[in-house]
Structures are given as C-alpha cells and as structure tokens.
Structure 1
Amino acid sequence: MSDSELPEVETPELDELDEDDRLRPEFVRAVLDAVEEGETDAARALVEPLHPADVADLFELTPHEQRAGLAHAVADLLDADVFAEMNDYVREDLIDALTPTEVADLAAELDTDDAVAIIEDMEPEDQREVLRALDPDDRAAIEEALSYPEESAGRLMQRELIAVPEHWTVGDVITYLRGHEELTTDFWEVFVVDPQHKPVGTCALSWILRTPRWVPIADVMSREQTLIPVDMDQEEVALRFQKYALISAAVTDWSGRLVGMITVDDVVHIIQQEAGEDALRLSGAGEGDINQPVRLTVRTRMIWLIVNLGTAMVASSIVGLFQDTIAAFALLAVLMPIVSGMGGNAGTQTLAVVVRALATNQLTSSNTRWMILRELRIAAANGTMLGLLIGAGTYLVFGNADLSIVIATAMLINNVTAGLGGVLVPVTLDKMNVDPAVSSAVFVTTLTDTMGFFSFLGLATLWGLHG
C-alpha cells in the first residue's frame, strides 16, 4: 500500500499548549484516552507535532501506571532529544523497560553528558551490559565520565568539541570544519591548543567567519579564557558561567590538557537545580520532586521530622524548668509561643539570605564580620518594633504593664538571637564543609525556640509575675 492509500487518522482539533506554554489538561487527557482505547495511531498523531521538551512534559504529566502504554504507542517518537529533556525519575521508569541494546542505541545518539545522565543511575549489572553494547569510542568516553565524582565538571562536560592547533590559519580552520562530517555541529567557539593539547585560547565562530583566510588563528583568538578543572563541583561551574557571562568553557584534566567543554544550556539546568535544592533542603523536604517514589520521599522527610522532634523536646525541656512560674501565672502559657514563633520566622529570613549569599559567593571570609553586624542591626530594629507592638497589644488586652514589659524585652532578645544565629550557624557549617542548606534550619529553629522560651519565662520569673 502506498503512502497515498494509507488511511487518514482523525484527531480532535486541540490546542496543545496554553498561554504559558504548558500542555493543556484536555490535550493530555485526549492522548491518554486514545492510548487506553487502543487507538495508537490517534495518540501518535496528537503527540507527533510536539517539541521534544513537550513530549517529555507529557510523560511527566502521565500517571506512573499509564506511562508504559503511552511509551508503546509513541515509541518511534521517543528519541534522544526527548530523553535528554525528561525528568530523572520518569526517565528511569522508561529506561527500565528498555533492553540494554536499546539503551545503548539511545545513548549513542546523545551528547556524552546526556548519555552519562541516563546510564549513571542504572544498576551496576545493567550498566555493564549497556556499556558492552556501545561502540568502543562511545564506551570509552562514558566510562571516563563515570570515573569522575558525581555532580562534577567531568560528569557535566561534553567530549564533542572543536580543537585546532595554534599554528593554523583561519582558512585551515574553515577547511577543517567543512571537510569532516563527523565533527560536532553544536558549538559556538573553537578551542585553540598547543602541541600538548593544552588550551591556549578560544575563537568565536563570528570572528572566524569575518576574518580573511590567510590570518593566523593565533592572531584572532582570545588568550583570556576561563578554564574549568575536571573535578570542580557543578555549582561552582554554574557560578563561573554566571560571573563571567560564558557561553561555553574548556574543561581540563589534572595535567591541564583539554578533555571537554561545558555549554551554557547545561549550566542553566544546573542553576535551576541547585537553587531548588537549597530551598528544599532548608525545609528538610529532600529533592521535592513530585515524580520521586513515595517510599523514598517518606524516608527522606521522616529523617528530618525525627530530628525536629528531638529539637522540639529540647525546647519543651526549657519550658519544664519554669513550671512553677507558669502555674503561678497561667497567662504566660498563652503568650510564650508568640515569642518563640516570631523568633523562628526572623531566623528563617536571615538564614535564607545567608545560605543564598554563601551559595553565590557573595558572602566570604572577607565580609563575614560586616554581614554579622548588618544582620544584628536589622534584628535589633525589627525586634524593637515587634517588641513595642506586642507590648502595647498585651497591655491593651490584659492591662498588665509588667507582663507587657517582659514580653517586649523577650521579643527583642529573641530577634537579636535569631539574627545572630541565622548568620553564624550556616557560616560555621560552611567552614566545616557541611552543606549549610541541609542542616542550618534545624539548629536555628532550636536556638530561637529555646531562647524564646528561656528569655520570656526567665524574665517573668525574675520579674516575679504572678496571677
């Protein structure tokens, strides 16, 4: 049967994307309904016009139990570009359903960094089978990448790049680019290397195209370049790209030889990932990925909830020290959560600012003292204002001047403590090479809770408040 004789597949007229470029719920439902009813041609016709990133989104929006059916219906549309855009957990679901040979064929189509992202999370035995099925050159490149630490430049970099010797002319470079079909087609600059294959400069494609052929490439290239060590953490890589407005950068091994490059499209993903990780770690929510398995999510959150339970018991033990004072003046039990709660909020604000400043290298050892003094001034100003407000409110409601003074003073003390702790805790953890985004919140919350209770109840005891 010729192409002209093939039956036409009727598909509903649907707008795939809304005004925010997100897949419309009715479109997703139409695709899944077609798959469920066995109308694979209709499902494929709906999905075929989508961009690879939108196809990846479609799988992420599909319930876990329906992904295999969708993958079967649109199997020929699941190319390397789709897998490269896909969420890690969703991609693992689909990879698990493929044979090692199919995974190897997929990895061979990808850039090295994307292929590594697919293979690195596989079980060791499956990983070995996939590597054995790869072309020797691809296998060697991926095995080398897997030998580097996780979340390092070595895992992030691409091996596909253009490097030329510095004695060539612009004409030599153009002839080389046009005469070798196996060269990568996605690049913005050419790296210039010495005989030891160490990078000595870079040359943007625009410079090459606008320069006469007889000019030596060494006269056109820029010798100022940002080199990325192969073992540099990906977060530091992202900061360098951001700081120096890079489009791509050379990656060098321990001997200084050029081994790969990192491009800005990879770094944008890292910046988004790292920013999200820090925000979620502050709350103890783990990765916060809605596609993460429920069991893993429960385990991650439970660990920190148990830690928080321990810190809550520490805070409650402070309250226990003042049982007699609370028994003599029960109103204290009503008001003391206000002091601890406001201190916790103030500490969280400071903590968020400091963790971000550490992550972006805005806060270093050279300006830590200034940062401490700055946050103390802010905390003192906020504490004074909040103290006056809560003091006035307490007096208006309860008509007790002594109680108003005690709660106002406690509010000031706890806010200053929160400001100091919000800086010192993450800075100290950072000095100890502990990620401040992971552990700081627990310590700061414990500090503000205990100081809030201790300052309020302690001052009430010293003041001799009673009912």
Structure 2
Amino acid sequence: MTQSAAAHKLPATPRRLDPEDAQHALAEVQERLRRQQLVADLVHRQEEGDAKANLVEDLVHRQHEAELKTLLDGLHPADIAFILESLPKDERQTIWKLVSPEHDADVLLEVEDWVRESLIEAMDRQDLVAATGNMDADELADLAPDLPPDVVAEVQKGLTEEERAQLLEAMGYPEDSVGAIMDFEMVRVREDVTLEVVLRYLRRLHELPDHTDQIFVVDRQDKLQGILPLSRLLVSEPETEVRAVMNSDFLTLNPLDSDADAAGAFERYDLVSAPVMDDQGRLIGRVTIADVVDVMREDSQEQALSRAGLQEEDIFAPVSTALRNRAPWLLFNLCTAATASFVASQFEGTVSQIVILAFLMSIVAGIGGNSGNQTMTLIIRALAMGRITGRNLWQLVKRELFVTLMVGLCGSLVAALFAWAISHSIAIALVMMAAMICNMLVGASVGVLVPMVRARFGKDPAMGSSVLLTFATDSLGFFIFLGLATLFLL
C-alpha cells in the first residue's frame, strides 16, 4: 500500500472569505493604498530635503505596510489572488511584496495566468525557488510554462526520482488534456488485504489527499483492479478482504482525453474523483472535482470572451495590449456595419418615398439578431457538451428552424400591429411581418451554421460568432425588408 505523495496543505491560519467579505477586504486594501499615496503627495509638496517631512512619510508608510500585511496574513490565498487580480499593476506589485512567503506558492496557483506572469517577473530567482520548492509535481507542472527554465531545473534537483518522473510526465501532456490536470496524490491498496489493514494504514497517514472519496485497488504492476469507496470501507466488517467489497464497475479516464470530456463525465455521473489509466491499464493519477470546477470555469470564461472576439487579458493592461486584443474584431465589425449601411443605401429611393421604413427596419434587424443569438447559444453549449453528432445534426437544424418559424409568426403579428398603428398601412404591416419572419430564419440558420462550421474545422465555435451573426442579420435584414418594400409598396 502506498500513497503517491503527501497532500499539499494550505496554511492553517488563513480562512476563506465569502465573496462579499473578499470584496470588503479589497476595499480596505484600496483605501490604505490611497491614504499612503496621499501622504506621499503631501510630502512631495514640501520643500525638497525637508528631513522632518521625509521622516513622517517613512513612519506613515511603515504603518500602512504593517496594517496591510496584517490584513493579508488573515486571508485565504484565493482571496489574496482575488485582490491582486483587482488592482492595477503598480499597486499589485506593492501588495505582492507584502504577502508572506509561505503563501506565495498557493497564491501563484490561485491567480489567473495573466496576473501570474507579472507576479513571477517581480520575484527574484531565490524567492521563486523557495516558493515552488515544496509544490507537488502536478502543481509545479501548472506553473512551469511561466517559470524561468533555470528555476524549474533548480527545483527539479530537490525532487525525488518518482516526483521528477511525475513532473516530466505531467509537462508532456497537451494543455487541454486530462493528463495536464490530473494529480498524483492518491491512496492505493492491494486486493488481498483486509479492511482492518487498510484502516490501520490510513490512520498512519497525516491526512488524506483532498477530495478522497475512494481508494484505488491495484496489483503489483499498478494495474487498476477496482475501487473501494470510503463509505463501504467504514460500514463493512474489518475482517473482510478488499476484493470482496471493492467495486469493479467504475469510470476511468485516459491522460489524452479532453479535459472538457472529463468535466462532462463528472457532471453526468456526479463524481468526486476518477482514476486516470494509461494504455496498459496502469493507474497513473486521478482527477478530482476541484480540477474539474477549474476547467468548467475557464471554459465558461473563454467562451464568453470568444463570442465577442476577445482573448483573456489583464483588465489593467497597457492600452497597446488592449488595442492588439480588441482592434481586429472591432475593425471587422466596422466592415460588417459598413456593409449593412451600404445595403440600406441602395434602397435610398424607397426610404425617401416611405420614410416610416427607416424607423421600422432597425426592428427587423434587431429581432433577427436576438433570435439568432438564442439559437447560437444553444448550439455552442450543445457542442461543448458533445451532444451534437452527424446523425442528429439535420434533425436539430430542422427543429431550430421550426421553432424560429413559430416564434416568428407570433412575434411578427405584434410587429405588424405596431407597424400598422404608426403607419396606418396594411401593406407596410404585411411587409414588416414577412421581413421579420425571414430575418429570424436567417438568424437561426447562421446561429446553427457558424458554430458548426468552425467546430468542423477544429476552431473555437464561439470565437467571433456574435459579430458574424450581427453582420448577417443586419445586412440581410435590411435587404429583405427594403427589398420587399420596393417590390410591393412602390
């Protein structure tokens, strides 16, 4: 029986705050930094070389630092990470210097990637080695891409052969794979021992690895034979052998599986942990619910940013960085908007004769875009969950078009009544009704096709999808509405 590694422990003193308390702590930090800056500004207004003013500034600065350090020492690393992510870079570095060295490793693991890079840049080599020296192999693998190579090499010297092999293995898997998020902390037992022996072994451990809900049963070649839930261990007779009560029907993951697929399995089967096996059936790690929650959160954030054509960035990043991130899709959006305006300009004669059309065509475009956005959101989520296949694709397309048609019929009646009320023309109301139904169908079609085509070519189905949808529903919406008006109203 072996435990692959000691559980990584968080500091015992700090406590986790709820979101409101974390925001309150952030407000306190910002207030103390503001007061410190006010004192510095007052001193700078004094005559240059005023020793008394400089002494006052130094004393106040030390007092503020002491208060900030006391506040930070009472926080959980996750809450310190939240504060660092919410501060501009200069203030972030000031606070980072006050964080206790014993918390450095945990904070680096908690912060977002774009903050972690700036924190690591502010640390010297010795501090980095000290912060990462006690990390587990899977945690070190998470940070390795952001660490200087010489620091990684120095930390590797302090690892055991087993830990070094685990680190190299974890670093060798693709970023979005199960192997990249699995950890090596787990309890393993043999199937030919009694539960009493297992219980005695567990009592000798300082603590169980986080999220341990089951013990893995392996043979002498580390091939997984079954799992022993802790609940079954506690309620079964101590004299019973492990093989008699272990569960041989269990879900396993491969290190090359997608982390999104693993997250879907955890959600579907209400898992707390799952073993990871290589192609030879050997147990090489496990994935826990904590890892899966991080994957779900990151995927959700990436999807929300992708739909607007954005990549993750520091909210306090320099303007040049923000421009490089946002400008391409905004320029593309400008081109699409110009195209829509050009389409509308081709019907200048129609609009000049029936001015009311200029007020109604924005409704047609807007409703088509909203309808398509609903369809697109459902499709992107279904793709993320793996629910769309070649067999059900056409059925899904027909369903979305039918639903959109039914909703369009109901909504277009309301729109037609509105158009009649302000124009007193049955013909305009009917054109409005037909154009809205057609544009809603356009929106639904684009909402299905754009994510599906991007996914088919291995691209992020959410990237820029809203921009493309707006382009289609605006341009075609104006064309359909003004084209029908030209045909039937002039």
- Give the TM-score taking structure 1 as reference length: 0.86
Q: Which residue does 2:23 correspond to in 1?
A: 23
Match status 1:141 vs 2:166:
yes
Q: CA deviation at 1:292?
A: 5.6
> SS state of the match for residue 109, structure 1?
coil
Tell me the distance in 2 between the aligned counterparts of 1:198 and 1:17: 41
Q: Which residue does 1:202 correspond to in 2?
A: 227
Match status 1:416 vs 2:417:
no
Q: Which residue does 2:129 correspond to in 1?
A: 104
Q: Which residue does 1:38 correspond to in 2?
A: 62
Kindly tell me: are residues 181 and 240 of structure 1, through their superposed partners in 2, closer, same or farther at Cα, counting changes over 3 Å? same
Tell me the distance in 2 between the aligned counterparts of 1:43 and 1:247: 37
Q: Note if contact 1:34-1:43 (Cα within 8 Å) is conserved in structure 2.
A: no
Alignment of 1:314-329 (within 5 A): 314-329=339-354
> SS state of the match for residue 22, structure 2?
coil
Kindly tell me: are residues 20 and 184 of structure 1, through their superposed partners in 2, closer, same or farther at Cα, counting changes over 3 Å? closer
Percent identity, aligned pairs only, is 34
Tell me the distance in 1 between the aligned counterparts of 2:217 and 2:281: 14
Tell me the distance in 2 between the aligned counterparts of 1:82 and 1:89: 13
Alignment of 1:180-219 (within 5 A): 184=209, 187-219=212-244
- Unmatched tracts of structure 1, length 5 or more: 1-15
Give, as a single letter, the amino acid of the residue that structure 1 aligns with 2:347.
Answer: F
Q: CA deviation at 1:421?
A: 2.5
Q: What per-residue deviation string (whole Å, max 9, x for no partner) do you get for residues 238-289 of structure 1?
A: 1111111111011122433221111111211211221222122112232366
Match status 1:283 vs 2:308:
yes
Alignment of 1:425-440 (within 5 A): 425-440=450-465
Q: Which residue does 2:118 correspond to in 1?
A: 93
Match status 1:159 vs 2:159:
no
Q: Note if contact 1:103-1:130 (Cα within 8 Å) is conserved in structure 2.
A: no
Q: Identify the match of residue 471 of structure 2 among 426, 446, 455.
A: 446
Give, as a single letter, the amino acid of the residue that structure 1 aligns with 2:22.
Answer: R
Q: What per-residue deviation string (whole Å, max 9, x for no partner) do you get for residues 76-112 of structure 1?
A: 4524333332233222222222234432332333343
Give, as a single letter, the amino acid of the residue that structure 2 aligns with 1:275.
Answer: S
Q: What per-residue deviation string (whole Å, max 9, x for no partner) do you get for residues 302-345 of structure 1?
A: 22222223333443443354344445545434432221122111
Kindly tell me: are residues 405 and 126 of structure 1, through their superposed partners in 2, closer, same or farther at Cα, counting changes over 3 Å? farther
Kindly tell me: are residues 158 and 237 of structure 1, through their superposed partners in 2, closer, same or farther at Cα, counting changes over 3 Å? same
Match status 1:303 vs 2:304:
no
Q: CA deviation at 1:411?
A: 0.8
Kindly tell me: are residues 121 and 376 of structure 1, through their superposed partners in 2, closer, same or farther at Cα, counting changes over 3 Å? same
Match status 1:61 vs 2:62:
no
Tell me the distance in 1 between the aligned counterparts of 2:449 and 2:138: 38
Q: Note if contact 2:428-2:489 (Cα within 8 Å) is conserved in structure 1.
A: no
Worse-superposed segment, 338-347 or 136-145: 136-145
Match status 1:82 vs 2:83:
no
Tell me the distance in 1 between the aligned counterparts of 2:93 and 2:152: 24
Q: Note if contact 2:223-2:283 (Cα within 8 Å) is conserved in structure 1.
A: yes
Q: Identify the match of residue 73 of structure 1 among 98, 116, 128.
A: 98
Worse-superposed segment, 223-232 or 206-215: 206-215
Tell me the distance in 2 between the aligned counterparts of 1:348 and 1:464: 31
Worse-superposed segment, 239-248 or 57-66: 57-66
Tell me the distance in 2 between the aligned counterparts of 1:71 and 1:219: 53
Larger RCO (CA within 8 A; separation ≥ 6)? 2
Q: Identify the match of residue 73 of structure 2 among 48, 52, 65.
A: 48
- Unmatched tracts of structure 2, length 5 or more: 1-15, 38-60
> SS state of the match for residue 361, structure 1?
coil
Q: Note if contact 2:144-2:152 (Cα within 8 Å) is conserved in structure 1.
A: no
Tell me the distance in 2 between the aligned counterparts of 1:179 and 1:208: 16
Tell me the distance in 1 between the aligned counterparts of 2:346 and 2:311: 35
Tell me the distance in 2 between the aligned counterparts of 1:68 and 1:219: 57
Worse-superposed segment, 288-297 or 160-169: 288-297
Q: Report the RMSD for the aligned CA atoms in angstroms.
A: 2.9
Tell me the distance in 1 between the aligned counterparts of 2:207 and 2:407: 64
Q: What per-residue deviation string (whole Å, max 9, x for no partner) do you get for residues 160-216 of structure 1?
A: 222223333323433444456698576332111234322221112232233334322
Q: Which residue does 1:3 correspond to in 2?
A: none
Q: Note if contact 2:412-2:433 (Cα within 8 Å) is conserved in structure 1.
A: yes
Tell me the distance in 1 between the aligned counterparts of 2:164 and 2:126: 13
Worse-superposed segment, 284-293 or 299-308: 284-293
